[in-house]
């Protein structure tokens, strides 16, 4: 049996448990239906890691989601400027703003889920969760 730990970035992108990097954090793999996109089990089905570390834990994900949205906005600025150029004289700045706003709105469900994953990964380290610690 292989004891190699799963890679960090693919585990985060797939929404896996930060403690074991095997169990799914979300009950639905897809963001659709939108009404159930944030549904999570109380604990990891593989290692038993509690996902909501304290009451109101996920309120902090609003800051992470905001940072991701602002980062995406500036990333859009770079590629838009490189491809089309920006100028206040020909209204290209308004086209950039409209394009960026649409992209951020369309990607918002994924940004919300990923911000929750990032936030939990900040507080739970691999193999250091409560369940795995007590099994040692």
How does pLDDT run across 92-131, given as a tens digit for each residue?
888 889 999 999 999 999 999 999 999 999 998 888 766 5
Token pair in block for residue 9: 């970035």
- Looking at the structure of the chain, the number of domains it has is 1
Residue 5 included in any domain: no
Contact 19, 28 (CB under 8 A): no
Adjacent-strand bridge partners of 50 = 43
| Res. 33: pLDDT tops 60 | yes
pLDDT value, residue 132: 45
Q: State the residue range of the domain holding 92.
A: 12-135
Q: For 80, phi and psi rounded to 5 degrees?
A: -65, -40
Model pTM?
Answer: 0.81
Residue 7 included in any domain: no
Residue 115 included in any domain: yes
């Amino acid at each position: 049996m292989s004891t190699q730990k799963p890679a960090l970035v693919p585990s985060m992108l797939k929404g896996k448990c930060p403690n074991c990097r095997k169990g799914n954090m979300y009950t639905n793999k897809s963001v659709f239906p939108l009404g159930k996109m944030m549904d999570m089990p109380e604990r990891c089905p593989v290692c038993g890691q509690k996902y909501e570390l304290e009451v109101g834990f996920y309120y902090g994900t609003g800051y992470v989601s905001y940072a991701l949205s602002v980062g995406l906005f500036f990333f859009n600025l770079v590629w838009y400027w490189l491809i089309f150029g920006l100028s206040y004289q020909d209204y290209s700045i308004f086209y950039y703003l409209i394009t960026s706003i649409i992209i951020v709105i369309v990607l918002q469900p994924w940004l919300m889920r990923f911000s929750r994953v990032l936030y939990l990964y900040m507080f739970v380290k691999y193999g250091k969760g409560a369940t795995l610690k007590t099994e040692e």
